[in-house]
Amino acid sequence: DTAVSQTPKYLVTQMGNDKSIKCEQNLGHDTMYWYKQDSKKFLKIMFSYNNKELIINETVPNRFSPKSPDKAHLNLHINSLELGDSAVYFCASSHWAYEQYFGPGTRLTVT
C-alpha cells in the first residue's frame, strides 16, 4: 500500500553513464515532482508535471529529462552522469493545491 514509490533506492554508477529513476504514486494525484537534495541536505525543485504536462522546469542541465507516461508515473532520465550529480533524488505527488507526499528517495552516487 505504498503511496509514492521510487526505484531504485540506491544507484551507484560511473561517470558518463546514462541512468533512469522511476517513480509511481497510487494516491490518484494529478501533480508529480522531482526534487534534488544535495550533500548539505538542501532540497530544490527540479521538475513538476500536472496531468502529464510539464509545468515547472527549473534551471537544470538538459542531461536531465523527465518523462510522464501517465498521471501515476514520473520518471527521471539522466544522460552522461557527472560527479556533481551525486545526490538524493525525491519524487513527490500532490493533488494540485494540496500537500505533497514524498517517495523514499534515491541515493545516486557517481564515481
Partner 1 sequence: AQTVTQSQPEMSVQEAETVTLSCTYDTSESDYYLFWYKQPPSRQMILVIRQEAYKQQNATENRFSVNFQKAAKSFSLKISDSQLGDAAMYFCAYRSPRGETSGSRLTFGEGTQLTVNP
Judged by the rule CB under 8 A, the positions of this chain that interact with partner 1 are: 31, 33, 35, 40-45, 48, 50, 55-56, 88, 90, 92, 94, 96-97, 99-102, 104-105, 107
**Residue 70 or 99 with smaller CB distance to partner 1:** 99
Q: How far apart are CA 71 and CA 51, in angstroms?
A: 5
Q: How far apart are CA 93 and CA 111, in angstroms?
A: 30
**Residue 81 or 90 with smaller CB distance to partner 1:** 90
Cell of 73: 508515473
Nearest distance from residue 42's CB to partner 1, in Å? 6
Nearest distance from residue 16's CB to partner 1, in Å? 27
Nearest distance from residue 69's CB to partner 1, in Å? 20
Q: For 8-63, where are the E strands, in sequence order?
A: 10-13, 19-25, 31-37, 43-50, 53-57
Would you give the DSSP letter of residue 93? Answer: E
